Structure formats: C-alpha cells, structure tokens
C-alpha cells in the first residue's frame, strides 16, 4: 500500500463537514514514527516502535461543539464518524464558553532547529548512546541505572474553516536516567531536545551517577524554614508552575492562584518569564496552534510583574483581548516556558547561601495541591538532597518535604543561575527552559508515609 495522501484526506473531510453545515471546524492530521528504549539494572529491557496516522476533528454548529479522533481513514469511516458527530451536536446544549476560532488565512513564523535531517542516523546509534550514559553513571560510582529514551519523527497538518492551512515536520528526543548506589542513594537527570547533534546522554548519565554517589550515608533531615537551591529539573516543576497557572481557563475552574493578579508584582525584579513557541530546539516550539493561529513569544512575567495570560480565540474574546497563539481548542495551552537567565554560576549561588540554613534539591516528585486557588502545595524531594553549609554542599539528608505556597515560592526567588537547561519529564509536561533557582524562607516539613 502506498503512502496515504494526507492533503486529500483533509480536503475530503472539509467537504463533508461543509455539507453537514458546520459553522466552524479544525481538522488536524498527525503522522508519527515513535521509538522507545527502556532500561533497568543497566540493561536494555524493552525496544518498541509505533507508526501512526490519526485524524482529529473539532467542529461547531450553532455554538454546539464536538470533537472526534479517527484512526480508520477510509472514506466510509470518515463519513460515518462525521455523520455521527453531526447527530451528536444536535442533541447538545450550546457551549457558553465558545466564541469561534481564529480567522485566517495566515502567514507563519520560521523556527530554527525544529527538524533534524540526520534523525535516521540517530535511530541507528540509539542503543550505543544509551549505553554511553549507563557507562558514564557507573564511572561515577553508580551500581545500576534505569530509565527510558523516546524519540520521534512526525509531521503535523492542519486545515480550518477560517482559512488556516499549514503543515510542519519535527523531530524530538526525551531521555531520562536514574542511577543507584543502593536502595536509598540515587541520582537522576534528563536530556531532551530535537537535534541529534545536541544529544549529551553521557553527561546526563555522569551527573546522575555523581549525585547518587554524593547521596550515600544520608540521614533524616530536620524540618524548619530553609533557603532551597533547586536543580533545573525541580525548578521546572515548582517555580514554573506559576507562569503555567497564567491561564484564564484554569482561573475560571479554580485551578490557578493568579486570579485578579494581572498587573501586580508576584515576584522579584530579577524574574522575567515568557511563553515562547519560537525557541530553537524547543520541544514545545511550533509555528501554529490548534486553531491554526500563528504562534509567537508572549510575556507572562516581566521584572516580577504578571503581565498577562495565554489565550485561544474564545478566552481572548471573553477577556476583551486577542489570541496569543496558544490554542488548545478546549483551553489555552503553553508551548515552551522560558525563564530569563540570571547572573550567577552554580558556585556563586552556593556562596549566596552563606549564613542561611539551605537545602540543595536535585529532584522531586508527587507535587500535590491542598488548594489550587490558594497555591498551597507540597512536593517530595527525591534522589540526592543535601545540606549546604558555609557555601558548600555538605551532607546528604532525607525524609523531608517542601510544604508551602506557590506565592511564596515565586516571590521569594533571590537569585537565578546563568545556565539554562530545557526540562521535560514525568512531572514537567510543558517544556521548560530554566536555570538553577535559589529561593529563601521556604517551609520544609517531615515526610510522611
């Protein structure tokens, strides 16, 4: 069977939706080839590959919105799915939060380093690259390592009833490794991006092994108020949660602590954050959003001031503004969250902790909220966590939990590192570019089982 012509499928689907008299529609098709290597006990245990082609349709008639994903792309299957969609729309109430999709046609930005022409070569080298990371961890003292590598080549196509028409190719990889000395001494790291030329799994493995070695013979820490020096992986989860909460949909459903905060100071002057879909090598970089609207760079926080929210067409019209190119057809979605770097090396950040009880936290998990509206949360440090004394990393500690508010986390940022790292992981779904972050006066409690 020859390669399916996606453009013909989009046109066929659009014609059928027009014949069913839908007012608005967005049709997207994604063809992907995704591979995975998993490893445990320093041995590759699973190798998988998925080739997929899926058609997704969002449509609206008289402000009644419906959606469907279609995997069988025969004409009869598409027609049956769309006719069922039309019947479903007739039985639904109007969506009071729907105000249309972006009007095209559009011109789109060009993004550097979105696709890797040498990705086939990366596929051939993938096992060797993972083994290099495992070996590097062991060279630092690790006894075993576990983790996963996922990489993908994909093409995305979109056609809308408002004149948007765009196709884009991309590649990506996500690598994570966790290394162990024993059951209680471990370290972790990630390496993510789009270009095989920028892969550095060996460095990620070495750092995971180094942290694991440093964390041996840890003792239970003492609860109290601490300054916390966060690795980018932790900062991407906890510190970047605030710019990710700058979303009107989350505010409306009570899942954001930024209600009525636009124009107010929420952090220090040394903090500026953007939602930036145009970053070279960014995993969230793309030239168009889910409505086909062009993407861009949007200021979220400028010198500590919350400047605005991200929007799709509907939330923008409700707020009396314009789309920021962040659709989500149901709710706005972040692309890449980018923090302006600071001025300090890691050693200088350590030096700034002198005279303050400080914890250096390299990883975390289970960030959970008691109240989203108030930003009350807790998060469990994982893998290496260390006391910092006299500006130097001291002894490893365990059994502590970060328990505070997102307001305090953000407003108490005292310094940022100058080296940015891109993070995407199980805890950090939105690609985030962030340095080490030093935060003062945070409540650290005893961990509970």
pLDDT digits (tens, 9 = 90+) for 55-79: 999 999 999 999 999 999 999 999 9
Band of residue 324 on the pLDDT scale cut at 50, 70, 90: very high
Residues 257 and 144 in one domain: no
Q: What is the pLDDT of residue 1?
A: 45
The whole-angstrom distance between residue 288's C-alpha and the CA centroid of its chain comes to 17
Q: Containing domain of residue 374, as a range?
A: 220-446
- Kindly state whether residues 183 and 256 are assigned to the same domain: no
Closest CA to 207 of 183, 178, 234: 178
Backbone angles phi, psi at 138, to 5 degrees: -65, -35
pLDDT tens digits, residue range 285-296? 999 999 999 999
Predicted pLDDT of residue 117: 86
CA 84 → CA 20, 75, 110, 325, 378, distances in Å? Answer: 11, 14, 38, 30, 45
Q: What is the pLDDT of residue 3?
A: 73
pLDDT of residue 173: 97
Looking at the structure, tell me whether residues 234 and 180 fall in a common domain. no
- Which of helix, strand or coil describes residue 14? helix
User: Are both 368 and 349 inside the same structural domain?
Assistant: yes
**Total domains present in the chain:** 2
Give the residue from 216, 244, 268 where a domain finishes.
216
Hey, which residues does 110 pair with through a beta bridge? none
Report yes or no: 444 and 226 within 8 Å, Cβ to Cβ: yes
Residue 120 pLDDT grade (very low, low, confident, very high; cuts 50, 70, 90): confident
Q: Are residues 264 and 146 located together in one domain of the fold?
A: no
- Could you report the per-residue pLDDT of 167-218, keeping only the tens digit for each? 999 999 999 999 999 999 999 999 999 999 899 999 999 999 999 999 999 9
Long-range contacts of 257-263 (CB under 8 A, 24+ apart): 257/372, 257/373, 257/374, 257/375, 257/405, 257/406, 257/407, 258/306, 258/309, 259/373, 261/306, 262/306, 262/307, 262/308, 262/309, 263/305, 263/306, 263/307
Pair 232, 211 in one domain = no
pLDDT at 210: 98
Residues 41 and 127 in one domain: yes
Residue 430 has pLDDT above 70, yes or no: yes
Ramachandran sector of residue 375 (left: φ over 0; alpha: ψ -120 to 50; beta: rest): left
pLDDT over 70, % of the chain: 99
Domain final position from 201, 216, 231: 216
Average pLDDT, the chain: 96
Torsion of the alpha carbons at 42, 44, 46 and 48, rounded to the nearest 10: 130
**In what side-by-side order are the strands of the sheet with 165-182?**
64-70, 43-61, 24-40, 144-160, 165-182, 185-193
* In a shared domain, residues 380 and 320: yes
Taking the C-alpha atoms of residue 204 and residue 197, their distance in angstroms, rounded to an integer, is: 15
Tell whether 264 and 164 lie within a shared domain.
no
Closest CA to 408 of 280, 277, 241, 198: 241
Q: Give the residue from 199, 216, 233 where a domain finishes.
A: 216
| pLDDT single digits (tens) 94-113 | 999 999 999 999 999 999 99
Q: Please check whether residues 196 and 267 belong to one and the same domain.
A: no
Element (H, E) at 209: helix 201-214
Cα 287 to Cα 161, 277, 292, 309: the distances in Å are 19, 7, 9, 19
| Rounded Cα gap, residues 384 and 399, in angstroms | 11
303 and 194 part of one domain:
no
Q: Where are the alpha helices (DSSP H) in 20-164?
A: 75-91, 119-139
pTM score: 0.96
- β-bridge mates for residue 144, sequence order: 180
Q: How many CB atoms lie within 10 A of CB 247?
A: 25
Residues 384, 266: contact at Cβ < 8 Å? no
- Does the N-terminal peptide bond of residue 105 adopt cis geometry, omega within 30 degrees of 0? yes
**Are 198 and 332 found together in one domain?**
no
Query: Are the CB atoms for 20 and 83 separated by under 8 Å?
Result: yes
CATH number of the structural domain spanning residue 165: 3.30.2290.10
């Amino acid at each position: 069977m020859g390669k399916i012509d996606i453009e013909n499928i989009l046109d066929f689907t659009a014609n059928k939706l027009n014949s069913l008299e839908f007012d608005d529609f967005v049709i997207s098709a994604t063809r992907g080839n995704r591979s995975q290597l998993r490893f445990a006990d320093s041995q590759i245990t699973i190798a998988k590959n998925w080739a997929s082609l899926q058609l997704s349709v969002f449509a609206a008639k008289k402000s009644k919105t419906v959606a469907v994903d279609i995997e069988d792309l025969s004409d009869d299957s598409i027609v049956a799915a769309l006719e069922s969609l039309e019947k479903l729309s007739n039985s639904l109430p109007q969506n009071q939060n729907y105000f249309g999709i972006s009007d095209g046609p559009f011109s789109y930005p060009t993004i550097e380093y979105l696709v890797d022409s040498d990705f086939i070569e990366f596929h051939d080298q993938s096992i060797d690259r993972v083994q290099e990371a495992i070996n590097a961890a062991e060279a630092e003292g690790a006894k075993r390592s576990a983790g996963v590598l996922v990489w993908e080549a994909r093409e995305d196509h979109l056609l809308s009833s408002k004149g948007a028409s765009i196709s884009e190719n991309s590649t990506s990889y996500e690598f994570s490794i966790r290394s162990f000395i024993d059951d209680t001494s471990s370290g972790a790291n990630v390496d993510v991006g789009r270009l095989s030329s920028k892969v550095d799994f060996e460095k990620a493995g070495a750092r995971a092994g180094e942290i694991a070695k440093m964390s041996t013979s840890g003792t239970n820490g003492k609860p109290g108020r601490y300054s916390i020096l966060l690795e980018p992986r932790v900062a991407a989860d906890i510190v970047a949660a605030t710019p990710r909460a700058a979303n009107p949909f989350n505010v409306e459903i009570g899942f954001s602590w930024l209600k009525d905060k636009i124009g107010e100071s929420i952090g220090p002057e040394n903090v500026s954050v953007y939602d930036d879909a145009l970053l070279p090598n960014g995993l969230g970089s793309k030239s168009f959003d889910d409505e086909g609207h062009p993407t861009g760079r949007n200021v979220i926080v400028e010198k500590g001031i919350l400047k605005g929210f991200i929007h799709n067409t509907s939330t923008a019209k409700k707020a009396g503004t314009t789309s920021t190119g962040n659709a989500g057809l149901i709710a706005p979605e972040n692309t890449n969250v980018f923090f302006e770097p600071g001025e300090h090396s890691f050693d200088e950040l350590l030096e700034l902790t002198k005279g303050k009880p400080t914890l250096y936290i390299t990883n975390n998990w289970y960030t959970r909220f008691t109240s989203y509206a108030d930003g009350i949360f807790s998060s469990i440090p994982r893998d290496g966590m260390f006391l910092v004394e006299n500006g130097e990393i001291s002894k490893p500690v365990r059994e502590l939990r970060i328990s505070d508010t997102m307001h305090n986390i953000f407003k108490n940022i005292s310094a940022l590192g100058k080296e940015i790292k891109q993070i995407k992981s199980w805890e950090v779904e939105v690609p985030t570019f962030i340095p080490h972050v030093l935060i003062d006066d945070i409540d650290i409690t005893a961990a509970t089982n």
